[in-house]
A and B are shown apart, each in its own frame.
Chain A
Amino acid sequence: MSERVKSTEKSPAEEAPQPGPAHNGPPKDAVKAAKTGAALPSLGIVGMLRWAWTQLTSMRTALFLLLLLAVAAVPGSLFPQRPANPSVVTQYIKDHPDYGKLLDSVQLYDVYSSAWFSAIYILLFISLIGCVVPRAIAHYKAMRSQPPRTPKRLSRLPEYGTLVVPADAGIPASDAIEDAAALLKKRGYRVEVRHDDGARPSLGAERGFLKEVGNLVFHTSLIGVLVSVAVGGLFGYSGQRILVEGDTFVNTLVGYDQFTPGTNFQSGQLQPYSIQLDKFQATFDRESQGKFGQPIDFTADVTTKENPGAPAKKEVLKVNDPVTLGGTSIYLTGNGYAPVVTVRDGKGNVAMQGPVVAKLQGENYYSSVVIKVPDAKPDQLGFAGFFLPTAFVTEQGISFSGDPDLINPQLSLNSYYGDLGLDKGAPQNVFELDVKGLKELNSRKAAAGGITLAPGNTYTLPEGKGSITFDGVKKYVGVDIHHNPGQLSALTFALLAVAGLIVSLYVNRRRVWVRTGTHEDGRTMVEYGLLARGEDHRLAGEAAAVRSLLAGQWNLDADNPETAPSNSSSAGSPEPKKDQ
C-alpha cells in the first residue's frame, strides 16, 4: 500500500539519515493539494474529492481499514450464519426473542455479505487500487531512469567507508571509478558513472527493483483473488443429494435434494451425467481403547456415466478424494443407515416398500426415522421413531446405540393414522412428522405400546390398520456437488500473491554511490556510501561485501585501517582528498 511522505522531495543526501519508510510517493501534487486543502475550508467540489481520494489512499486509512476488516470478520464466528446453516439461524432467532430479530436487522447472520462488511472491503480494495496504480507508474519510471545523483556528503549515508589506493599502484581516480562500476554491475547493480565533476568522478548504482515489483504483484493478486471469488459466486453452483445403495443421481435440477445456484446460473449449465452408489463401506476403530468405534475409513464404490449414452465407469469416492465429473466435483460429506421396510395397509396391500433414510441424531449412528405412507388405504399411515445399529437399553428403559456397526440393529417406532396433509401439495420436511392431525396407534404411552423391530420381524398394527416389516438395512451417503469456475484463477492469484510477498520481503532495494579523487601525494582516495529503501537489516553486510570487492580489485587489505582509513577519523569529512 502507499507510503506517502508529508514533505517535499529531498535530495538523497538529505534523505539519507532516515532511510526508513520515507519513500517519496508519486502524487506529491495531490499531497500538497491535500495539505493546503486541509488548511483552507473552501475547497470546492473537485478539491473535496481530491482531498477525500488522498485520504482514502493514504497508508493510515488503509491500515485502519485493514484492522477494521479483522474486527468486522469476528461476529461471523460468534453468531450462526445463514449461508452455512439457515435452519440454525431460524432456531437461534426463536431461542433469543429479546435480541434475535435485532441482530438480524443489522445483518449479523449474513456478516460476509452484509452491507457494512462489504463496505469495508470495497473501500479497502479501492484504497489499494488507488495506491497500486500510481506506485506502479512511479516504479516503471524509476526502473527506466538513472540512479539518483551522487550526494555531496557520502559520509552521512547509513553505510559509509573509504579506501586508499597507494600512489605506486598506478590507478588514477578515473580508472578507479570504472573499476568500481564494473564490479557493481557484476553484482547486479544498475550503474551510471558521472565524470562531470572532473577531478572527482563518481558513480550512482541501484539494485533491487524486484522488491517493489513483488509488492505490486502481491497487492494486485489480492484483487485477482477477490475477482475470482466473485466469478465463482456468479457462475458457480452447488447442491446436495442423499444416495442409498443402489440409487442413481442424474445431474439435473430435479435430481438434487437441495440446490444453491450462483447469481448468473443457467440450468443449461448442468451436464446430465449420472452417478450410482453401488456399495458403501465404513470401517471403525477396533484397536485403541480410548477411540474404540471411531470411524477410520469411509469408502463408496460408484458407477459413473459422463452422459446418458456414455460407457459406465467404476470409481471410488472417499473423504478427501472427490470424483470429478462433467465440470463438477462430487464430495462424500455424510453417511448413515437406511432401514428397509415394507408397510401393508388395512386392506393387506403393500403401500410402501424400500429404504428409509435415517437422520443422524447422536453417537454411534443413533438416528431418527420418519416413514410417511400416503398410499395406505383406508387411512394414511405415519411412523416416527429411532434406528439403532447396536441397540442397548439402560435400566431406566432408555435406548441407546452402543456401537456404530450393525451388531444389534433395532427400529423403535410410534405409529399414527389419519391425514398426513401431503395431498394439499404443501411442501413438507421428509425428516419430520407433524402428528397434530393424526391419531396415535402405537407409542410407549399408548395401550398397545411402541413398536420394536429387529430385521426380519413384522408387527401388525392395532385396529386392523395394517402391518410393518423391517426387511433389512442399507447404507446411504450424502454427497455435495460443487461447480466453481473461479477456483483455478483464485489459486493462481493466491500463488502469485505469495511469490510477490516473498520477493517484496526478501529482495532489498539498495543504492550505492562511489566517489574517487587523487590526493596531492598521488594516492587515489575512494569513498563509498550505501542507502537502503525500506527495512534492510543486511545493508551492513552488503557494505562489507562491496568493500571487500573493491579492496580485492586493487589488492588492498579490506580490514586494515591503514590502507583503508578508519571510519571514525574520516567521519563527517565530505572529501577524503583534502583530509588525508
Chain B
Amino acid sequence: MFPINETMGQYSELFMLLAAGTYTVAFIAFAWDLARSSKSLKAIDLKAAAAGASADSSAKVPVAAGASAAAATSRPAGSGGGRLSGPADRAERPSSYVSTANGAGQTADDSMRYGERRAPARVAVALTVLGAAIHAAAVLTRAVGAGRVPWGNMYEFLTTGAFVAAAVFLVVLIRRDLRFLGTFVVGLVVIMLVAASVAFWTPVGHLVPALQSYWLIIHVSIAVMSSALFTLTFAMSALQLVQSHRQRTIAAGGDDKLGFMRLVPSALSLENLSYRINAIAFIGWTFTLMFGAIWAEKAWGRFWGWDTKEVWTFVIWVVYAGYLHARATRGWTGTRAAWLSIVGYLCVVFNFTIVNQFFNGLHSYSGL
C-alpha cells in the first residue's frame, strides 16, 4: 500500500478549481458561438432565400451554412431530387423521414460539416483543451496523493468522470464537428466539478478493505466511461427533442423562435449519432454490470443479490436495452427513443447521487 501524500492532494484540489474556472470561460465562449453564429446564419439564409431556387445545383456540395433553404426546396422534387443533398439522408429510417423532410432552418446533416469559420468556437475548444489538461493534472495528482486509482469515493468518481466526459468530447471533436454540444457538455462538466467540490469533497485517503481489489480498476473505470458517454448522448437527445419541436414548428409555418438551434444538426442526425454512441455505452454498461457481478461474487459470495445499487444498475441497463429495441420498433423511433435515452441518463444520475447517499446497501462507499 502506497503512503498518502496530502500535499499532492492539496495540489489536486487547486488544479480542480483552476480546471473548473477554465471550463467556465470555455462554456461562455461556446454560448457566445451559438448566439453569434445563429445570427450570421440567419443573414446568410435570408440572402439565399433571396437568391431563389437558382441555388439548387449548389446543393450537391455537402449541405453547408445557408444552403438549407435550397436543400429543403429541392428535396421533395421527386425520387431523383432526393439524391442531390448527399448520401446522408438516404440511410434514414422511414418513421423519422417525415421530420427531416421539413429540414428548413437547419444547417448541418449527418456528416456535421459546417462551411464557415467560427472564431468563438475555436476559442472555446482551445479553452476546453486547456481546461482538460489542467483537469488531467488534477486527477493525476489525486491518484499520486492517494497512491491508487482516483475513483475510490464519490468525489473522485465525479471528478474523474467529469474529466472523461470532457476528454471523450474532445476526442469525438477530432472526427466530427460537435462544437454545438459544447455549451451542454462543458456546462455539465462544470456542474460535476462544482458538485464534487461542494457536496462530495473527501480528503485523500486509503481504500477500505472491501474496495481493495483489481476489480475496482476494471469495474469502476468502465462505469466512468459509460457514464461519460451517456452524458454526451443525454445532451444530444435533449437537443434532439428541442430541434424536432423546432422543425415541426417551422414545417407548420410557425416562427423560428429558437434561432440558436440553427447551429445544431437535424433531429434525425442527432438521433443517429446518439444511437451510435449509446450502443457503445450500452456495451460498456453491460460490462459494468457483469464485472460488478463477478466482483460481488468475490467480495460478498453472491454474484447478484438485488442490492439497491445492483437494482439501479439493472434498471439503467434495461432502460437502455429498451432504447436500443425502440430504435427497431415502429412508432418508437425519434422522439420516444430520445425520451428513453433521457430517462436512462436520469437513472444514471439518480443511481449516483440519491442511491449512493440515501439508500442503504452494500455499495456505501460515498466516503462521506
Contacts and interface: CB of A to CB of B under 8 A. Distances in A.
Of the listed residues B3, B80, B301, the one surrounded by the most CB atoms of chain A closer than 10 A to its CB is B301
B202 A290 contact: yes
Given A288-B6, A320-B213, A535-B275, A296 B206 contact: yes
Nearest to A88: B360
A490 interface: yes
A528 interface: no
Interface string A69-98: 110011011000101100000000000000
B158 to A, nearest CB: 17
A498 B290 contact: yes
Interface string A54-75: 0000011011001101100110
Given A73-B314, A159-B90, A229-B304, A535 B327 contact: yes
Contact of B205 (A74, A77, A285, A537): A285
A319 interface: yes
A320 B298 contact: yes
A248 interface: no
A294 B322 contact: no
Given A66-B325, A77-B312, A320 B302 contact: no
Query: Is the interface on chain A under 10, 10 to 19, 20 to 34, or 35 or more residues?
Result: 35 or more
Interface in B318-368: 318-319, 321-322, 325-332, 340, 355, 359, 361
Interface string B102-145: 00000000100000000000000000000000000000000000
B226 to A, nearest CB: 13
A484 B329 contact: no
A535 B78 CA distance: 24
Given A66-B322, A568-B84, A21 B286 contact: no
B6 A77 contact: no
A3 B209 contact: no
A19 B311 contact: no
Contacts of A83: 305-306
Given A296-B1, A494-B290, A289 B203 contact: yes
A133 interface: no
Contacts of B60: 568
A461 B282 CA distance: 67
Of the listed residues A159, A238, A333, A494, the one surrounded by the most CB atoms of chain B closer than 10 A to its CB is A494
A329 interface: yes
Interface stretch (B64-72, B91-99, B254-262): B91-99
A482 B301 CA distance: 6
Contacts of B217: none
Given A238-B302, A322-B298, A76 B311 contact: yes
Contacts of A497: 286
Given A83-B306, A502-B283, A540 B87 contact: yes
Given A84-B307, A490-B303, A537-B276, A572 B206 contact: no
B209 A480 contact: no
Contacts of B110: 537
A63 B206 contact: no
Contacts of A70: 314-315, 318-319, 322
A331 B301 contact: yes
Contact of A18 (B88, B93, B325): B93
B130 to A, nearest CB: 30
Interface of A: 1, 3, 6, 17-22, 59-60, 62-63, 66-67, 69-70, 73-74, 76-77, 81, 83-84, 111-112, 156, 158-159, 229, 238, 285, 287-291, 294-298, 318-322, 329, 331, 333, 480-482, 484, 487, 490-491, 494-495, 497-498, 501-502, 505, 532, 534-537, 539-540, 543, 567-568, 571-572
The 9 closest A-B pairs by CB, nearest first: A290-B203, A291-B205, A20-B93, A482-B301, A572-B80, A70-B318, A319-B209, A320-B213, A77-B308
16 contacts: A59-B325, A70-B319, A77-B359, A158-B87, A159-B90, A288-B204, A294-B205, A320-B210, A481-B301, A482-B301, A498-B287, A505-B283, A540-B87, A540-B88, A568-B80, A568-B83
Given A22-B94, A287-B4, A498-B290, 16 more contacts: A60-B331, A63-B325, A63-B332, A70-B322, A76-B306, A159-B90, A285-B206, A294-B205, A320-B210, A333-B301, A491-B303, A501-B286, A534-B328, A539-B91, A540-B87, A568-B83
